Amino acid sequence: MSGNGCNGFRVRILPEPKRRIRILTREETDKLLEALSEHLRPSVRFALAIGCRMSEILSLEMAACRY
Per-residue pLDDT reduced to its tens digit, 15-56: 877 877 788 999 999 999 999 999 999 988 988 998 877 788
Res 39: pLDDT: 95
For residue 29, count CB atoms less than 10 angstroms from its CB and return exposed for 0-12, middle for 13-18, buried for 19 or more.
middle
Position 51 in a domain: yes
Position 66 in a domain: no
Position 9 in a domain: no
Position 10 in a domain: no
- CB distance 24 to 32 below 8 Å: yes
Position 18 in a domain: no
Tell me how far the alpha carbon of residue 29 is from its chain's centroid. 15
Task: Provide the domain limits for residue 47.
Answer: 26-59
What total number of domains does the chain contain? Answer: 1
